[in-house]
Amino acid sequence: MAELMQLEGVSRRFGGLHALDKVTLTIGRGEILGLIGPNGAGKTTLVNVVTGVHRATGGRVLFEGKDITAYRPYQAARVGIARTFQVVQPFPELSVLENVSAAALFCGSNGGLRNARQVAAEKLEFVGLSAVADQPAANLTLAMRKRLELAKALAMNPRLLFLDEVNAGLNSAEVEQAMGLIKQIAATGVTIVLIEHLMKVVLSICSRIVVLHNGALIADGAPASIVSDPHVVEAYLGKKYAQMAAQAARNP
């Protein structure tokens, strides 16, 4: 599989806290990569560093062979990197369509506002929100706000998409719907990094999983090997769940 992004010894410190500690990772073009680990492991920090929200304090980030370590968020967006946020905060007074149009404009959409609105309408149809396009974003349910967040990311025309806890707070039916959308996005050729606590989701749609703990990468491999890795079991899964997850990985 061709490489799309490489992290080479990437570190991020906040004072004396090593949020990321010399993380080296390759993301393959077209894969759905699961990124898991306990709370505070450094998952969101990794996304923030890659997308320019935080500056790496060590190491390099390469995208399609180009050093983007010092890129700002708008620069990362314009080369094809998008992300969703764990805490969904749309512009509440703007319409659903206007929220997505703003994302299209942020990544430098050609054609100005008219084209951005057309792109927004297409992405809202894809995620199933066309019927509420003219409503204020404040009126949406949590599940709908999650889909709005996804539409905003897709409007940026990404080649690499980070999904940060897109299923948090959703019920079983809503999680199934979200999984379907993720698979559809991947089918278009978009590379996806899925940050997720629901192991059912990770095991069912990810071909590879990486695990962070205390800012360090402790495992990288196929789902079946990850759920049986003793370091992952001790740091995150626990023995009881690891046994169930291993069985699920063998019988997807």
Q: How far is CA 144 from CA 78, 174, 197, 203, 215, in A?
A: 26, 10, 20, 24, 32
Tokens for 212?
Answer: 């962070």
Is 141 exposed, middle or buried (CB count within 10 Å of its CB: 0-12, 13-18, 19+)?
exposed
Angle of helix 142-154 relative to helix 112-127, nearest 10 degrees, comes to 130
Q: pLDDT tens digits for 184-217? A: 999 999 999 999 999 889 999 999 999 999 999 9
- Site of tokens 């898991």: 36
Q: Are strands 216-221 and 208-213 parallel, antiparallel or unpaired?
A: antiparallel
**pLDDT recorded at residue 250:** 61
Residue 1: CB atoms within 10 A of its CB come to 12
Q: Where are the alpha helices (DSSP H) in the chain?
A: 43-50, 73-78, 96-106, 112-127, 142-154, 172-187, 199-205, 223-227, 230-232, 239-250
Angle of helix 172-187 relative to helix 142-154, nearest 10 degrees, comes to 10
Average pLDDT (219-242) is 86
Q: What is the pTM of this model?
A: 0.92
Q: pLDDT tens digits for 12-34? A: 999 989 999 999 999 999 999 99
241: left (phi over 0), alpha (psi -120 to 50) or beta: alpha
Can you say how many angstroms the Cα of residue 233 is from the centroid of all Cα atoms in its chain?
23
Nearest C-alpha neighbor of 43 from the set 169, 152, 147, 195: 195
The answer to whether the beta carbons of residues 248 and 203 sit under 8 Å apart is yes
110 has a pLDDT exceeding 70: no
The answer to whether the beta carbons of residues 20 and 215 sit under 8 Å apart is yes
CB-based contacts of 82, cutoff 8 Å, min separation 6? 107, 153, 154, 156, 158, 160, 161, 162
Q: pLDDT tens digits for 127-182? A: 999 999 999 999 999 999 999 999 999 999 999 999 999 999 999 999 999 999 99
Tokens for 248?
Answer: 């699920």
Percent of the chain scored above 70 by pLDDT?
93
CA distance 252 to 238: 20
CA distance 245 to 232: 12
